Amino acid sequence: MPVNIIAMVSTETATSTGLKTEDLVINMGPQHPSTHGVLRLKLVLHGEVIKQCEPVIGYLHRGMEWLGQNRNFVQYQALVDRVDYLAGMSDSHAYVGAVEQIAGIEVPQRAEYLRILMAELNRICSHQLSLGIFMLDLGAMMGFPFYAFRDRESILSLLEEVSGQRMMFNYIRIGGVQQDLPKGWLAKAEALVKDKLLGYVDEYEDIITNNPIFTSRTKGIGIIEPNSARAFGLTGPNIRASGVDYDIRTAKPYSRYKEFDFKVITREEGDIFARYKCRVEEIRESCKIVLQAIEKIRALPSGEQAAKETELVAKKIMPGFKAPAGETYFAVESPRGELGLHLITDGTAVPYRIKWRSPSFFATNFLPEMAIGQPIADIVAIFSSLDVILPDVDR
Amino acid sequence: MADLPIKPGDDKLAMFFAKKKAIAEGKDPEQAAKEAYAKFHGKPLEEAKAEVKTEIKAEANASVEAAPVVEEPPKPPKTPEAKEFFDAANFKVEELGKDSSGTLMYEVSVEDIIQICKDLKAQRKFNLLNYMTAVELKKGYQNILRLESSKHDEAVVLKVTLAKDKPVMPTLTEVFASANWQEREAYDMLGIVFEGHPKLTRILNPDNWDGFPLRKDYIGPLDGLNQPIKYGVK
């Protein structure tokens, strides 16, 4: 795969007038609008070309692992959504999945479908936001970002109806989900996906995909070479846009993803445009999964009697819940890639060790590999296309 | 879905101008537009639309007539690749059984870890370091590595126990590219020193932070700003 690298020249170059040029050190961030949080990049420039790039992270470090190790399993549930605040459902799913795997808890069918339904809705709005801010970073100040934010809000209000919160849901709990759906929610969700979301995606494509300004800034730029990216642990749409068919939903199916029919979107080019296109297509696939999940939930028995006879949603887990001593790793496909949790327990009510394997951490580690040799104007586009979210990096 | 054969731009422009001309000349503008399209593409507009429709139908039919899923007979259980490797190789290892996700775990010694990782990468299919972490146990600090195959169908967990008074192990950055920041995090949180690491500094905590937060004997600053707490001072 050809890599777009501008030839680097020596530190000091003599020009025809006898003047010498020097390297310039630029501090990008931490308070930079296009760093998606608080990231600092130390850049060494030769002219307009980046010679060195060093990400400095930790500005949003909240000690999520320490907090987990000093709270019991039930208390920590409420904090987990903050790891990656754009995909709280995926975070909860990873944490809860790990605890259930150690404790051997079986989750009711209805709760599994509800989890998948919520996680996919969450994925759609995460991708919409990433599209919006991506265009913002490319300079589309007015117009497009508002489309994405408008559409995202319609999903968030649905999720709020279910869980009581816009973003920090705390909906997926150990053993199931917090509560059943409100009356008429399924019809609302179905109408939203069928009548609006799919149309919205076409709208995005009409605005962006053939836009000559957009394509000239994205095609052939920031190419990810699949092998080196995999060695760096890059996952999610970033690696799928380079032709690697790796999606945990199909590679190591968790929950009940085996029963769903969807495509893993891959593209061969590996440039910024391919990553954008991958995300847009993934929104469509997620819509498909949401509709299937709605159908499956409708087919299950419902009503008060059924709820009494079989636990449709979940068995209540008490705060004194103790997981047996053990160790596990549970990974889910978050909108940004492989989000996993390594959990070690010692038989008490408090986790012994929690380790988050967050996809953005690995993507930020990979950033210098992409940035070096590129013009400074492209670094914002490249970084934005990785869809890194800084709370996920710093935890 | 198949792309419409109408490209944005030129043909539409041609149709537009044909319409304008037809109106000026008092002819039927729709007819003129169709003629312009046919002249541009070499086939009339209806034909092009009909082609797209049949394509879509064919696609829909194909998805309906998908072959019924045939259940494959269960394969005989294969020996895990990691077990094969450790049985054949001459390393001092201890098998720790499986974790709850079904991954084999092995305890290996500090001296062998680099060679084992290199061999697993070169001879076997474990060429990715998924993540690395560390934990404090009673017997010492334990480094946990999870290696995965490139097809992600198999994984193995390696554990290295380091003495509490000297938690030092060689760096894996030369074997796995993703080890760089992982090792910095393990150093930052638990104070494990990786010999030969290109830049072993704190990564998540500030550079002047005292202590290693995930050690069990760590007492954090109460004000959260790494300042000594002054009692009785206004």
Chain B residues touching residue A61 (CB < 8 angstroms)? 204-205
Q: How confident is the model at residue B7 (pLDDT cuts 50, 70, 90)?
A: very low
Measure the CA–CA gap between B209 and B215, rounded to whole angstroms. Answer: 14
Residue with tokens 């920090």: A168
Facing A326 at nearest CB: one of B99, B130, B150: B99
**Where is average pLDDT lowest: A66-70, A263-267, A301-305, A375-379?**
A301-305
Alpha carbon B159 to its chain centroid, in Å, reads 22
A223 SS3 class: coil
**CATH code of the domain covering residue A242:** 1.10.645.10
Phi, psi (degrees; rounded to nearest 5) at B142? -120, 125
Q: What tens digit of pLDDT does each residue of B156-200 get?
A: 888 999 988 888 999 988 888 888 899 999 999 888 999 888 888
- Nearest by CB to residue A251, choosing from B144, B152, B157, is B152
Q: Does one domain contain both A244 and A291?
A: yes
Q: In terms of residue numbers, what domain contains A221?
A: 64-357
> What is the mean pLDDT of the segment spanning B28-36?
82
Residue-averaged pLDDT of chain A: 84
Amino acid at B150: S
- Taking an 8 Å cut-off on Cβ atoms, the answer to whether B176 and A231 are in contact is yes
The answer, for B146 touching chain A at a CB cutoff of 8 Å, is: yes
Domain assignment present for residue A387? The answer is no
Residue A106: inside a domain: yes
Per-residue confidence at B101, pLDDT binned at 50, 70, 90?
confident
- Domain annotation covers residue A391: no
Q: In what order do the strands lie in the sheet with B126-136?
A: B93-98, B104-108, B155-162, B141-149, B126-136
Residues A26 and A87 in one domain: no
Q: Do B131 and A228 touch (CB under 8 A)?
A: no
pLDDT of residue B64: 55
Q: What's the rounded mean pLDDT across residues B37-43? A: 77
pLDDT at res. A332: 92
Closest residue of chain A to B180, computed from CA coordinates: A365
Interface contact flag, B204 A361, Cβ < 8 Å: no
What are the phi and psi torsion angles at A138 (to 5°)?
Answer: -80, -5
* d(CA B47, nearest CA chain A) in Å: 25
> From the list B100, B157, B204, which residue is nearest A326 (CB)?
B100
B82–chain A nearest CA distance, Å: 17
Chosen for mutation from B101, B188, B208 (greatest number of chain A CBs closer than 10 Å) is B101
- Residues from chain B contacting residue A364 (CB–CB below 8 Å): 181
Mark out chain A residues that contact chain B at CB-CB < 8 A.
57-58, 61, 63, 65-66, 69, 101-102, 210, 228, 230-233, 246, 251-252, 326-330, 338, 340, 342, 344, 352-353, 355, 357, 361-362, 364-365, 394-395
* Band of residue A200 on the pLDDT scale cut at 50, 70, 90: confident
- Residue A394 resides in a domain: no
> Looking at CA atoms only, how far is residue A285 from chain B in angstroms?
14
What is the reported pLDDT for B224?
62
| pLDDT for res A19 | 75
pTM for the model stands at 0.79
Ranking A215-229, A321-335, B4-18 by mean pLDDT, the lowest is B4-18
Same-domain check for residues A14 and A110: no
Residues A217, A112, single domain; the answer is yes
Count of domains forming chain A: 2
Asked if residue A258 and residue A154 are part of one domain, the reply reads yes
**DSSP conformation class of B177:** T
pLDDT at A181 > cutoff 60: yes
Note whether A251 and A321 are same-domain residues: yes
Confirm or reject contact between B101 and chain A (CB < 8 A): yes
If asked whether residues A47 and A119 sit together in one domain, one would say no
Chain A CB within 8 Å of residue B100 CB: yes
Q: What is the pLDDT of residue B214?
A: 87
Residue A191 lies in a domain: yes
Average pLDDT, chain B: 78
Same-domain pairing of A172 and A243: yes
Q: Tell me the average pLDDT across A363-373.
A: 88
Q: Looking at A222-236, A351-365, A368-382, B19-33, which range is the least confident one?
A: B19-33
Would you place residue A72 in the very low, low, confident or very high pLDDT band (cuts 50, 70, 90)? Answer: confident
For residues A95 and A233, membership in a common domain is answered with yes
Mean pLDDT throughout A38-66? 87
Averaged pLDDT, B222-228: 65
Residue A189 has pLDDT above 70, yes or no: yes
| Same domain (yes/no): A49, A101 | no
* CA distance to partner chain B, nearest, from residue A97 (Å): 10
Please tell me whether residues A162 and A282 are part of one structural domain: yes
pLDDT cut 70: percent of chain A above it: 92
CA atoms in the 13 A half-sphere facing the CB of A94: 32
For residue B26, give how far its alpha carbon lies from the nearest alpha carbon of chain A (Å): 35
- For strands A353-357 and A337-345, give the pairing: antiparallel
pLDDT given at position A116:
92
What pLDDT, in 10s, does the model give residues A121-166? 999 999 998 888 888 888 877 777 788 888 889 999 999 998 888 8
pLDDT at A8 over 50: no
Q: Is residue A385 part of a domain?
A: no
> Shortest Cα distance from B8 to chain A (angstroms)?
9
C-alpha–C-alpha distance, residues A113 and A290, integer Å: 9
What the block records as the tokens of B153 is 């169908």
Chain B residues whose beta carbon lies within 8 Å of the beta carbon of residue A210: 8
* ipTM confidence: 0.82
A52 and A80, same domain (yes or no)? no
Terminal CA-to-CA distance of chain A, rounded, Å? 34
pLDDT in tens, A255-278: 888 888 888 888 888 889 999 999
Q: Which of A233, A251, A353 sits opposite B178 (nearest CB)?
A: A233
Residue at A239 is within a domain: yes
Indicate the residue of A102, A231, A342 with minimum beta-carbon distance to B133. A342
Mutate to test the interface with B, among A101, A232, A262 (most CBs of B within 10 A): A232
Q: Output B231 or A219, whichever has higher pLDDT.
A: A219
Residue A102 lies in a domain: yes
